[in-house]
Each structure stands twice: as structure tokens, then as C-alpha cells.
Structure 1
Amino acid sequence: MKTPAVALLFASLVSPTTFAQDSFFPIWGNEAEKLGYTLPKPYGISVSYMDMSNPVTVDSIELTGAPMLEAIDIDAKNATFTGSNITVRADVWVFPFMNVYGIIGYTQGESKAKINSVTCDSSKFDGPNLLCGVINAVGDKLPENTMFNLEMDGGTYGIGTTLAGGVGNWFALLDMNYTYTSISAIEGDIRTFVAAPRVGYRWEYDGGRELRVFTGVMYQKVDQFLVGDIASLGLPSVVVAAADKIAKDAGNDNAGFEVSQHASSNWNNVVGMQYAFNRDWDVLIEAGFGARESLFFALGRRF
């Protein structure tokens, strides 16, 4: 599950007070100031929290541990991912128009999919298979609340860049990042690429305070591949016990699973605001809406 990090929104070219460059970064900073641009302090750190809900398409669910299990097909194509993450981001303005950053944090989430039916491919056996026949007879008569659950908690790491520019009080930026989340409870990972263009307008106030509002869109490509024991799926205990017995009869310790899934909708709309208390501190709030819904908060400090 990224979580996407958002730039500490367009500090470049719009800071209220010019300062002499006393750091190697940003490169070409002196030249930019001579042209009349104002620059932010080059280094920053922020703490953020994001909450998100996103529809997920399940590409495949494979049971493992025995030929009998591998012949079973689970129809649970549509899932919903809900989750949150907390991240710390460190950044630097390498150029007056380009910021680069690293992310480290923790993601907590859950994917839930309704199981529509369970079938068994009898062609994988030499002759009639009694258990396979039973599964086909009752596999489409499952209770309405039969769910396929995946708990996905783990550490998140990533890198990103923001390109920014503006004219007068208008600004535009493009934020891009790639994050990797290693799932702790089961084997697997979440790989996320985000690209988010935004445009906005700013207002300056006394004492170096500044308000910026913006709107835009966010592209988020999420791929998940997860492997684990069938007991971690939240299935009825009788199903887990039966699957484990089949696996043990085949010489394995227990039944397992492999799941591949991806976000159903890559795009959503975003609106937000950033308020700078001064040149050192700011707070950012952003909401995403559409098929994917999100709420993002960040507190930043520049040096």
C-alpha cells in the first residue's frame, strides 16, 4: 500500500522573503536569486499521516500444498483495500525547480473480497474425484458473508522527486515517487508508483505567513503479490482444517496461498491547502475523491 508523499508544496519561487544562499544547495540558487526569484530553505523534514480506501481487482488466488488444492479455483475478483500509513520524509532542493526526497514509515491495511464461488477442475485428475465433485456441488452456495481477508502491515520505504514552477501567485508542480512496503505477517510486498500534477494559487500575509490552495489529479499504480498460510486468510475454521489435512496427506505441513492483485482505479482527483506559519514551519492537508478516497496530513520543518 503509498503511500504517496506530497511535496511541501511549492516552497520554490514563492517564499515571502529572499535570503542569501549559504548552502551548496540548491545548485544555481544564486543565479535564480539574481533573476529575482525567492527560494526556500534547502533542507526539510516532514511527518505525515494518510488514510485511504481503494477498490482492488484480484488477478488470481492460488491454493498450494497439494494437487487437490491446486485444482481449486476461488472466484473473488473484487476487493476493497482500506489502510493508513505514517511516514517521515527528508528532502532537499537540488535545483531551484527540483526537490528530491526519501521516505520511511509504516503501513497498516486490510484487503477484503467476497468469495462468490469455489470450483474444482476435475480434469487435473486421472479419474473421478469425490472431493472435487462435492466442491463443485456446493461451491456456488456459499454464505453471503464468506470473505477472503488479507492483513497487510509492514515497513514502507521510498524515493521521490518534485518539479515546481510558477508565475506571479500561480504555481504548478509534479510530484512523483516510488514506495515499497514489505508485509510482516505474511510473505509479500506492495509496490506503488505515484504521479500527481497540481496547480494552485497563493496569498501572502504579514509576518511571513502564506496560504496556498491547489487542485489536481493523482495517478497511483499499486501491485501486490502475497504468499502465506491459508490460516491467515480469515476463512471459516472448518475450511482451514480440511485444507491443512489435504496438505498434510500430500506430505506438507499446511495449506498455503498465493494472491496477485492490483488497484482497480489508477486515477482520482485531489484538492488541498498548505499554510506556512513562517519560513520554517508549515502544515499541509489534502483530500482525494473518486473511486479512490484519501485524506492526507503533513507537518513540515525547513532548515
Structure 2
Amino acid sequence: MRNKFLLVLLFLLMTSVNVFAQVYSNKIVGKKNEALLDSIKEEPYPYALPIWGEKATKKGFHLPYSAGVSVNYFWQKSDIIIDNLEVGFNNGPQYNLDQIVRFTDSYVTASAVNVRPDIWLFPFLNVYGILGKASTSTTINAGIWVPDADNNWTNVMDFGTKAEFNATTFGLGMTPTIGIGGGWLALDMNVAWTDVDALDKPAMSFIFGPRLGKTIKFNKPDSNIAFWTGAFRVHLKSGTNGSLAIKDLFPNAGQAQDKVDQAVTKVDEKQAQVDTWWSGLSNAEQAKPSNKAKYETANNALDKAGNLLNGIDGALSTLETSTVQYSLEKAPKDMWNFIIGTQYQYNRHFMLRAEAGFLGSRTQFMTSLQYRFGL
């Protein structure tokens, strides 16, 4: 069963990345750096950006070139949680399927390439844009669950799928940062909109990545290596809705029909068990709040499962023309994970960076090449 609309939301975790290169305005300190400090203070600042750049250099800050462009590659694997799933067929009523459809071992692996132009607007604030293309492979495993009168839930139908998507991402970001004596703090953040064909409108995500690092100079002028540690936080705009053709969800209609028929039989058996239990109670036992709650819970869940299966069954009978409408909310299983990284600066123009994220339910890797110039 190809639940394509559920796969799309997993892709969104992959399309916005934390792409700040570790250059910063560094306060020159120490006696061994007095000559460099004097030259920075005495030489006129030759560029229009950043604003207040000349004032910063007079106070002993060594500024990076004020503009740059980088090419970034990003890979990630992440788990996700899906809630408030509602599904309808052929523009009919939508049914909430919480508890009925349960997701297990659902994850996405994806890669993205983006271009990031940036400028230093102020000596301690970098702003940038993101334009990228991404692709993803998504695996979903789930089941349809129904209860009996004792509230024991049973899986009546398993389904799983793997699908691939492509998308385009546009984003804007900024990074407040400061450095003293080669030690630095950066607070990178960006918001991105991802355009996927299967969604009604582009989806929005927000990335926040604090980092604390240290830069070690080499003997070669303007050449150094930086190391850092930090965190990576992903926030997704939770609402997603859209419409898809049934034939895209069920490429093997015959196999899907067999599964649906078997699940309908199991739901009917559960309903018969619940009805037998209820009819076997006395009037006094039926009046007990606990028994009434069990009966109503079981009937409600069995009705939802029956509506879902009947909707799929009807849609399969008109495969070429049927559609499914959906809405849902989603969130990363873990919003935060831990990151470590390093950057080699060949000179003030060229930098090569690598970063890895791990711990929690998300693993990621990024590398980038940046070129900087005065503006």
C-alpha cells in the first residue's frame, strides 16, 4: 500500500539545512598578535559592508570578507511522528484515524544540494539565502488496529511502502556571531519553504543551530582550522493537507484488494464479538459507566476502521478516477540532536567544511565549499 501523502511530510525534514560557514569577526588579543592588531587599526577599511565595518576594525576586530557563496551537500536520516490523520475519498467526509492507523519504524533518508549566497550586514550579523534541490527515499510501516470489548487492540492489516520524491527549496537565514582570540559563538537560524508536487502549498520549516568553537592558526598567513560542537534543532509547520489519485497509492490493486478483504473480515469478527459481549450483559451491567465506555470505544474504533476499509474498497473499484483527500500533523521524533564539525580555511577566500550530527533519532552529515570576496 503506497501511502504517498504520508511520505511527503517525512521529506520535509530534509529540505532545510544549517549552512553557516565558520567565519566570524574575531577580536585580536595577546602580545604576540600586537603587530596584526596595529595593522588592522591603522589601515582604512576598503569595503562598503559590513555596516560599521571600519568602526569594528578600529576596535581591533579582524573581519572576514563581506560577501561569499557556498555550495553545500547535506545527507540525513530521521524518524518522524504523525498525528491527527484524517482521510476521505472522492471529496467525501474525512474521518479521524488516530489510534486506528499506527505508524512503526517510519523513517526518511535524503540528500540535498543547495547554493547559499551571503553578506555580512553588520560585523556580528551574517544574512544569507538558500536555493536548493533535494531527493529522498522514504520508508513507512504501519497498521490498522481495532479493539475488542476489553480494549485489547489487534492489528488487522499491515502495510508498508518506500517512495522517492524530488523538491525545490528556498530559504532565508541569519547568524549572529562573535569571536575573541580565536574562540567563537555562532547562533545560526533559517526558515525555508519546500515545494513538493504532492502538497497543496509549500511547507515551511525552521532550523536553529548554536555552535561553540575554536580556531587554530597555521604558520601560513590566513590559513587555519576550526573545530566546534553544538546542537541542531528542527521545527516543522505541523499542518499538511492535499489530494492524490488512488492509482498512485495502490500500484498493485489486486494485492491491495486481497488485504482489504481480509481486514474487513477481521473487523466484522471483532464487531460480532463486541455485540455478543454487550448483549450478554444484564441491564444493570450495561448501565455501568465502565462497560458503557468500553462498548462506545470499541464501536467508535470499529466504525472508523470499517469506514476506512470501505472507502479503500470503493476507491479500488474505480481505480482510474478515484482520489483520496487527507490532512495530518507531523513532527520530528526528536527536535534536537548533537553536532560536531571542522573547517579548513586555505586562505581568506576559500574554506572547506564538514559536519556530522548524531544522538537521538536523527543522523546527518554535511560538507560545503565556500568562496569569499570583499563587497
Q: Tell me which interval the TM-score lies in, with the shorter structure as reference length.
A: 0.7 to 0.9
SS in 2 for 1:207: coil
Could you list the per-position Cα deviations for residues 174-229 of structure 1 after superposition, in whole angstroms to 9, with x for gaps in the alignment?
Answer: 00000111103554543210111110111111132110000001111124625222
Using a 3 Å threshold, how does the CA distance of structure 1 residues 100 and 141 change in structure 2: closer, same or farther? Answer: same
- Are the equivalent residues in 2 in contact too, given 1:115–1:148 (CA < 8 A)? no
Find the partner of 1:96 among 112, 123, 136: 123
Q: Superposition pairs for residues 261-300 of structure 1, below 5 Å?
A: 261-290=330-359, 291-300=361-370
Q: Superposition pairs for residues 13-92 of structure 1, below 5 Å?
A: 13=26, 18=40, 20-66=44-90, 70-71=94-95, 73=97, 75-78=101-104, 79-92=106-119
Alignment match, 2:290? none
Aligned counterparts of 2:109 and 2:250: Cα–Cα separation in 1: 16
Identity of aligned residues (%): 25
1:207 aligns with 2:231: no
Greater Cα offset, 85-94 or 63-72: 63-72
Using a 3 Å threshold, how does the CA distance of structure 1 residues 264 and 230 change in structure 2: closer, same or farther? Answer: farther
- Are the equivalent residues in 2 in contact too, given 1:153–1:185 (CA < 8 A)? no
Aligned counterparts of 1:171 and 1:52: Cα–Cα separation in 2: 26
Aligned counterparts of 1:8 and 1:162: Cα–Cα separation in 2: 10
Could you list the per-position Cα deviations for residues 75-129 of structure 1 after superposition, in whole angstroms to 9, with x for gaps in the alignment?
Answer: 1334212211110000000000000001000121243321222569xxxxxxxxx
CA RMSD of aligned residues (A): 3.1
1:221 aligns with 2:235: yes
Using a 3 Å threshold, how does the CA distance of structure 1 residues 118 and 237 change in structure 2: closer, same or farther? Answer: farther
SS in 1 for 2:118: strand
Aligned counterparts of 1:104 and 1:266: Cα–Cα separation in 2: 23
Using a 3 Å threshold, how does the CA distance of structure 1 residues 69 and 174 change in structure 2: closer, same or farther? Answer: same
- Are the equivalent residues in 2 in contact too, given 1:10–1:171 (CA < 8 A)? no
Greater Cα offset, 202-211 or 91-100: 202-211
For structure 1, the 5+ residue unaligned runs are 121-138
Aligned counterparts of 1:38 and 1:31: Cα–Cα separation in 2: 11
SS in 2 for 1:219: strand
1:256 aligns with 2:324: yes
What is the CA-CA distance between 1:240 and the residue it aligns to? 6.0
Bigger-Rg structure (1/2): 2
Greater Cα offset, 42-51 or 59-68: 59-68
- Are the equivalent residues in 2 in contact too, given 1:56–1:80 (CA < 8 A)? yes
- Are the equivalent residues in 2 in contact too, given 1:230–1:240 (CA < 8 A)? no
Alignment match, 2:308? none
- Are the equivalent residues in 2 in contact too, given 1:152–1:185 (CA < 8 A)? no
Q: Which has the higher strand share?
A: 1
Find the partner of 2:178 among 151, 155, 165: 165
Using a 3 Å threshold, how does the CA distance of structure 1 residues 240 and 153 change in structure 2: closer, same or farther? Answer: farther
SS in 2 for 1:208: coil
What is the CA-CA distance between 1:13 and the residue it aligns to? 1.7
Could you list the per-position Cα deviations for residues 14-35 of structure 1 after superposition, in whole angstroms to 9, with x for gaps in the alignment?
Answer: 7997574322210010001001
Question: TM-score w.r.t. structure 2 length?
Answer: 0.67
Aligned counterparts of 2:142 and 2:48: Cα–Cα separation in 1: 57
SS in 1 for 2:55: helix
Aligned counterparts of 2:48 and 2:226: Cα–Cα separation in 1: 28
SS in 2 for 1:63: strand
SS in 2 for 1:269: strand
SS in 1 for 2:155: coil
- Are the equivalent residues in 2 in contact too, given 1:193–1:220 (CA < 8 A)? yes
Aligned residues: 283
Alignment match, 1:127? none
- Are the equivalent residues in 1 in contact too, given 2:246–2:315 (CA < 8 A)? no
Question: TM-score w.r.t. structure 1 length?
Answer: 0.82
